[in-house]
Amino acid sequence: MNASALKLEPSVPFSDFKASIVEKIWNIDSFNILSTISDILSKNTSKEPELKPYTMDEINQMIDESLDDIKNGRVYTFEEFKKKMEDDIEWLK
């Protein structure tokens, strides 16, 4: 596997991408770089965000806002949405 050229793209299996990162880390011989990677990983895995369920009032408010959006034409057709996503995200084309 050529770890330096592998990028996360839809055609690349996630496990291969992950393995390429591990291979790159394994070949690093700089304490400073490894320390920085360790700090980044610690910050990103230290705590999962706390999720709480919506209240019925919050759900009803979201429904009311959605109905108001529909009533006032603040909606996209599927075709408009798809085109916008393809324009904004290159690999969806």
Q: What is the DSSP string of 10-52?
A: TTS-HHHHHHHHHHHHHT---HHHHHHHHHHHHHHHS-PPPP-
Same domain, 7 and 31: yes
pLDDT at 3: 46
User: Model confidence over 44-75: pLDDT tens digits?
Assistant: 665 667 789 999 999 999 999 999 999 999 99
Average pLDDT score over residue span 70-86 = 93
Residue 93 has pLDDT above 60, yes or no: yes
Q: To which residue do tokens 């690349």 refer?
A: 12
Same domain, 25 and 65: no
Cβ–Cβ under 8 Å, residues 22 and 3? no
The domain in which residue 63 lies consists of: 56-92
Same domain, 37 and 68: no
Beta-carbon count within 10 A of 20 CB: 19
pTM greater than 0.85 (yes/no): no
Same domain, 65 and 87: yes
Q: To which residue do tokens 């599927």 refer?
A: 78
Number of residues assigned to the chain: 93
Give the contacts of 35 (CB within 8 A, at least 6 positions apart): none
Question: What's the domain count of the chain?
Answer: 2
Cβ–Cβ under 8 Å, residues 18 and 6? no
Same domain, 38 and 80: no
User: Model confidence over 19-28: pLDDT tens digits?
Assistant: 888 899 999 9
pLDDT at 47: 67
